[in-house]
Amino acid sequence: MQRRRSPWPFSAHPGRLLVIARRNLLAHKLRSALSILGVVFGVAAVVSMSSVGEGARREALREVAGLGIDTVTMREAPHAASDGAGNASSGSDSASGEGLSADDAQAIRHVIPGVVAAAPVAEAASLLSSARRRMEATALGTSPEYARIMDLRLASGRFLAALDVRDSKRVVVLGATLARALFPLGDALGGLVRVDDGWYRVVGVLTDRDAPRGRAGPIHARDMNRTLFVPWTTLARKVDNADDVDEIVLRAKSHDVVVGVAHAAERLVRRLHPYADISVIVPQEILRQRERTQSIFDLVTGTIAAVSLLVGGIGIMNIMLATVAERTAEIGVRRAVGATQADVAAQFVIEGTLLTLSGGALGTALGVAGSWAITLWAGWPTALSSSMLLAALAMAAIVGIGFSLYPAWHASRLAPMQALRSE
């Protein structure tokens, strides 16, 4: 009867090889620990730096999500614009058409294809008070389309209506945090809120939204939870600035056309206001720029980590070659009693892999601690994922196998009689 061949290519059982490898490594604890330092620091660098990159990527996505990947924001610089001769324009220039106006939003909406909504935005710091509390907040004067552009969701009531804008009504929509603060014991809907020197009726309350971190950058994401919304005509009358607005936000029908829409809107506004200092912010383009910058950062940090792992791998190879030289007689005895060349090679590959996996586990723990320390002390956002940690351990295993192959091959090539005579 023919004997079935085992799928395991070695005569020794893999569990037995692992036991022998563990015993040999523990017999030289200090040497084993020192040999994996390069792997430890390399993997720690991979984990910690990757967590910084992942944290930056997620923060960028969160900021862009707050504005919308298919939105465009047009802002007027806070300083005075200059005319063609380089002279600063006066305050009357704004009234004569040098600043953004609500009419520009309507022009963009009806002239440029691909724009599904456009809204003027006027911003002012306001003092709010109710029967129970006083607090400062940001007041935004805008139109009904702003809710569609920014994807605002209502917990109760409604958003601003066209009739509110036309009649300059004193109605207000509160962010979730403002509603809780001003009306802690009841529903804010239908209540009265004093905004500076006038009383406003609460017609809507927004749902909670993720608040921006407030880090400096080109993306200016407002904290909608601490913002109140009034008709832009009401706010304009209150601050006496006619129909001037601070910015115009618009939404394209898809993210594929948002860049073209932004260019067309910019050309239109510059034609209407040739001397105005207008900036156009496209979150999608900012995200792409950040991704390109992040790719460079990942490449640099990855190179540094690869060098650390390379140094660690070379150290492990040196230790393994020294181990082969020390255990020549042991190799001869094993070969004499029936161990094959594959058994000897597998033994040393397993030992090298165990070394690097141990270093990888320690490096992963050190990298996780490092990412927490970066967040705690530097204030940078970091993020960890299971795939990142598994990739770090996989890199350690690859280094262990790769740099153990030559020592293992060298050990397997020793002739049994020659190895026994080395004793």
Q: For residues 250 and 71, is the Cβ–Cβ distance under 8 A?
A: yes
pLDDT of residue 3 exceeding 50: no
pLDDT tens, residue by residue, 9-28: 445 556 676 776 777 777 77
**Cα 57 from Cα 55, distance rounded (Å):** 5
Look-up of token digits 């809907």:
189
The percentage of the chain sitting over the pLDDT mark of 70, rounded to a whole number, equals 81
The percentage of the chain sitting over the pLDDT mark of 90, rounded to a whole number, equals 19
Look-up of token digits 């935004």:
140
Query: What integer pLDDT is reported at residue 387 of this predicted model?
Result: 78
pLDDT tens, residue by residue, 224-262: 899 999 999 988 766 555 568 889 999 988 878 888 888
Query: What integer pLDDT is reported at residue 108 of this predicted model?
Result: 92
DSSP character for 225?
G
φ, ψ for residue 235 (rounded to 5)?
-65, -40
Look-up of token digits 């255990």:
327
Look-up of token digits 């220039």:
93
Query: What integer pLDDT is reported at residue 420 of this predicted model?
Result: 61
Please report, for residues 112, 127, 402, the alpha-carbon distance to residue 139 in angstroms, rounded to integers and kept in the order given: 29, 9, 62
Q: For residues 246 and 75, is the Cβ–Cβ distance under 8 A?
A: yes
φ, ψ for residue 118 (rounded to 5)?
-145, 135
Query: Of 61-65, 86-90, 407-411, where does mean pLDDT reach its minimum?
Result: 86-90
pLDDT tens, residue by residue, 356-399: 888 888 988 998 998 888 888 877 788 887 877 887 788 788 88
Query: What integer pLDDT is reported at residue 63 of this predicted model?
Result: 65
Give the CA angle between residues 373, 375, 380 to the nearest 5°: 135
**Cα 138 from Cα 51, distance rounded (Å):** 34
Please report, for residues 4, 94, 109, 309, 315, the alpha-carbon distance to residue 1 in angstroms, rounded to integers and kept in the order given: 9, 101, 86, 51, 50
pLDDT of residue 94 exceeding 60: no
Instruction: Compute the mean pLDDT over every residue in the chain, rounded to the nearest whole number.
Output: 79
Span between the terminal Cα atoms of the chain, in Å = 43
227 CB contacts (<8 Å, ≥6 apart)?
Answer: 137, 138, 139, 140, 175, 178
Q: For residues 206 and 176, is the Cβ–Cβ distance under 8 A?
A: yes
Cα atoms found within 13 Å of the Cα of residue 281, Cβ hemisphere only: 18
**Cα 8 from Cα 3, distance rounded (Å):** 14
**Cα 92 from Cα 80, distance rounded (Å):** 11
Query: What integer pLDDT is reported at residue 61 of this predicted model?
Result: 67
Query: What integer pLDDT is reported at residue 115 of this predicted model?
Result: 92
Query: Of 109-123, 166-180, 302-316, where does mean pLDDT reach its minimum?
Result: 302-316
Q: For residues 279 and 77, is the Cβ–Cβ distance under 8 A?
A: yes
pLDDT of residue 177 exceeding 80: yes
Confidence of residue 157 (pLDDT cuts 50, 70, 90): very high
